[in-house]
Chain A
Amino acid sequence: MNTLETKENSLPAAGRRIEYLTPRVNLHQDGEGFTLELEMPGVGKDGVEIVVEEGKLILAGHRNTESAAGASVYAERSTCDYRRVFDLDPSVDAERIQARIEQGVLAVHLPKVETAKPRKIPVS
């Protein structure tokens, strides 16, 4: 996870472009692995989508569509969904990635693989 955020440079087909909000992220590392925290206000448990594909970690959040009753008087909040892509560090064990979302903060735990242990190679 020492790599930076991946910039997706392939433009989708014309007329089908979808705009996403880039969620703010905090990334921590300890001996066991990495922890990502992403801010996705308005996204519940059912709106989170996490995909590991070709060494990339794709995190998306779809907002609850229900909006408050009445006419908008003042609006600052975006209605876009969230999306952010990271390069997975080779030390991450993709099979054991865990995630939970609490009050709009998605926490993703990325444990490291156990390859640091020395191995004995038998001579045949």
Chain B
Amino acid sequence: MVKETTNKTMNIIRYKPSEFTNWPRFDRLSSLRDLLDSAFQLPNPAPGWVPALDVFEDGDKVTVQLEVPGLKKDDFDISLEDDALTLSGERKSDESGGESLRIERQFGAFSRSITLPSPVKADAVRADYEDGILTVILPKAEEAKRKKIQVSLK
């Protein structure tokens, strides 16, 4: 599943938040905010949809989680190049006959790239897909693990 690539990977792609607000009770406030945002909108660097991503780090590993509901395991492409991790894939539209009354879900290709906060063991990376969340666990390289040094006080 994990493969090494040689092409240059870009840094963090700007996150495009969903147009649906966390606070449905404040619809008027959020539409005002959207209006203000639109005046400063930058061209979207990544066409298609941009799934939300989290990065965690502890003593011996880096964990990356991506919110991508409704894919199959084969739809993902995970690649690692030095300290750049790229998670990409495609969500295929399930054409289920009949008439569509409402379409809010996005389909098509996505790609997210991040610079990892520390060097990792490329051959020990593993990934898991459950409940629509892709989790990639990257064990840190030995030199990156924090070493504990005891300092004695006199």
Residues of A within 8 A of B (CB): 1-2, 7-9, 11, 19-22, 24-31, 34-35, 37, 39-44, 64, 67-78, 80, 102-105
- Residue in B closest to A19 when the chains form the complex, CB atoms: B22
The segment out of B1-9, B32-40, B99-107, B142-150 that lies at the interface is: B99-107
A-B contact pairs, 14 of them (CB 8 A): A24-B106, A30-B97, A34-B101, A39-B69, A41-B68, A67-B56, A68-B65, A69-B56, A71-B56, A72-B55, A74-B55, A76-B17, A104-B69, A105-B69
Determine if B54 is an interface residue (Cβ-Cβ < 8 Å): yes
From A27, A37, A67, A70, contact of B57 by CB (8 A) = A70
Q: How far is the CB of B110 from chain A (nearest CB, A)?
A: 13
Which residues of chain B come closer than 8 Å to A8, judged between CB atoms? 24-25
Q: Give residues in B with beta carbon < 8 Å to A.
A: 12, 15, 17-18, 20-25, 27, 52-59, 61-63, 65, 67-72, 96-106, 114, 117, 129-133, 135
Nearest A residue to B71 by beta-carbon distance? Answer: A103
Q: Within the assembled complex, what's the spacing in Å between the Cα atoms of A77 and B55? A: 10
Report how many A-B pairs have Cβ atoms within 8 Å.
139
Interface contact A74-B114, CB-CB below 8 Å: yes
- Please give, as numbers and ranges, the residues of chain B lying within 8 Å of A37 by CB-CB distance: 70, 105
Given contacts A19-B22, A28-B96, A74-B55, contact A104 B104 (CB under 8 A): no
With beta carbons under 8 angstroms apart, the residue of A44, A77, A102 that contacts B52 is: A77
CB distance from A34 to the nearest CB of B (A): 8
Does B96 contact A43, Cβ atoms closer than 8 Å? no
Bound-state Cα–Cα, A27 to B67, Å? 21
